[in-house]
Structure 1
Amino acid sequence: MTWNGPGPRLGHSFLLTVSMVVTLLLTGCSSASALSRPDALQRVEPDSCDAYGSNATSVKEWAVDGYLDPEDTSKSLQQAIDSASKSGGAIVQLPEGVFTLERPLVIKSNVSLRGAGPTTVLKAGPEFLEFEGPFGGHPLITTNGARNVTISQLTADQNGEELDGNLPGRLNEYLVDVRHSVNALVEGVTTRNPYTYSIAVVASSNFCIRNNNTLVTSSGRYDQLDGIHITDSNNGLVEGNTIDQRQGDDGDDGLVAQALGASVYDVIYRNNDVRGGSHGSGLQLAVGDHEIYNITVEGNRFWGSPDGVKTGYYDGGTAAVREVRVRNNSFFNLQGPWLNFHGDLENIVVKDNVTCQAGTIMLEDAPGNIVANNVTSC
């Protein structure tokens, strides 16, 4: 992981000779209420993310026939998104197929961008790196400043195997970039060929990242390729994701909570299957000058990483990590400790976890710490 900012961008090179129909479902969008703030060791946890994103209520169709070059594809999809937002909100429904883009898509308020599943592919084309996102990076999709948004049921391919993503600003924006947003849902998204973090939530609140699939396959091309990265954000759920940063050698942390510009708090990591990359851990709580607190890590499977769950300190940061619950997880085939917490700690609860070939637990003494009922079972 890095500490400067986000990063990818789209390109083109695509011919489409069959008819395409994109359906816009006009919506009335519900805003999710903030997750309630808990006591020191208790929290009211949501059962699902069903309240997040936008809900469609009526239908409008938009059709484009014939040949589309990548420039037309980028412009047409952006026009559909803009129109959907101006009309009060809609689902932009994409069919199966490969849609090559030459510039980032910017999701607007009250809009849902939804594919037909993994066979709906948004792919950066050869000219993609010539265009920047709002913060000088190259996001394939960004929600910058939007409220009540959904990105779902599609593949986001940054094309890092063919493009050289090692440009200035690479880590200013990310492949799927939820930024300065309220009430965002990313669900059922498959990410491929990244040259930055795969899915990121930056300076946002009330978010859900659910049932996504990240993958890193490159070796020797990039660094700091985190899977799902939460930065300076609060009130969110990261649930049911499959994160594999280690099919190639370039992967870094599987999951990250990073507090550099603002605290990260009230976030749940639940029921994820996580293999961190060869340069990272399963989950890192990355601390700068702001605290990380009220974090639940529950029911996850961490495997095949150098480390399990750990704290890290950056830019001279010494802020506290407190009210963290690590419970009912499994840790196996790790090279280092399955838990490694140090620094300014308080109320760290580590209980009911199962480990196998996962090293040791390292937890510095601190007020309110509890370690109980953790077992080794191979």
Structure 2
Amino acid sequence: MSATFKTLDELDLKGKRVLLRADLNVPVADGKVTDATRIERLVPTIRELARHDAKVVLLSHFGRPKGKVDHEFSLEQVVPAIVEALGKPVGFIATDWNDLTNAQKGIDTGPAGGIFVIENTRFHPGEESNDPELAKRMASLGDVFVNDAFSAAHRAHASTEGLAHLLPAAAGLAMQAELEALEAGLGKPKRPVLAVVGGAKVSSKIDLLENLVAKVDALVIGGGMANTFLHAQGRSVGKSLAEKDLADTARRIMDKAAKSGCAIILPIDAVVAWHFKADSPTRLYGVDAIDPDGMILDVGPSSIERIQGAIDDAHTVVWNGPLGAFEMNPFDAGTVAVAKYVAKRTHDGKLVSVAGGGDTVSALAHAGVKDDFTYVSTAGGAFLEWMEGKPLPGVQALKK
């Protein structure tokens, strides 16, 4: 498949200073990185750049320092995790984004193939406002720009979008893999395409649902948001989480789906409890007869079977959001069963499966299948905006 964006093999990297936009905004506790997944995904790009004797300069935001220097958000604390992932030394350059003399000197005197981390880009207010002057100062540190931070691509910031217009620019290997997976998921997918969308609230996913019903062949709606749709159909959902004021929105989405030929798959039975806590007593109800005092906390076995039937009919599955309160036993059963089924069909070569979003990644890890989907995005907001059909500034800037 020919890429619509520029890739590493289109850049002259030999001996160059490469500004690599990474996403080092990783969880840290007591000064140590607790989940290095995003760092590990950068390793192939860093190694490829270093192989060309390029000096690799990592740029990233970290936390929300609000445009000021705040040592709580220094990227220095992330450097040991990068060293561990790469197995080679990594230099840290404390940077004043108003005067880059120190940074310039550190990069110039560093060895060919050397790797450096520069201080948090958000220590300057111009990062988030995409200040052209800050972007120019950043560009002065390098010869080439590589963006390997898809998770920050929905932000038009100086280090994600501004820089890409000032230097020869391309996607890194992780960004390339992500964009190719997303293209296979919704861009030019193998049909039929099934989308699975769950989570608590319709209000946070209206744009997503509106976009999907026009693009996919079938849409499974689960989690708390399914209750809103059941309510919109005139069913009683008891004391379940439901945004009853969005009933008209749900009906509009169902009408649009019908006109687009997209089948909406809602739960037909549900696991109901009377307390929102783990290991609460439960009963199974059909969705036409939910106990008025009960809460729907998971899809039931008939719903799981119906979803698995839809998966059997699909060639592509795109997933965002759990089907129940998966953080608590036994309300993880539906999400786990469906995740394992998608993983099996993927393993058997019957399915291309793309998933993303924070809760989704946690749910797939909980089900033990995070590595068994075709692609699992750790991008969060960028993945959601891509699913909503919105252009991502950091990707648009790399277009050919």
TM-score by length of 2: 0.28
- Whose strand fraction is larger, Structure 1's or Structure 2's? 1
Q: Which has the larger radius of gyration?
A: 2
- Whose helix fraction is larger, Structure 1's or Structure 2's? 2
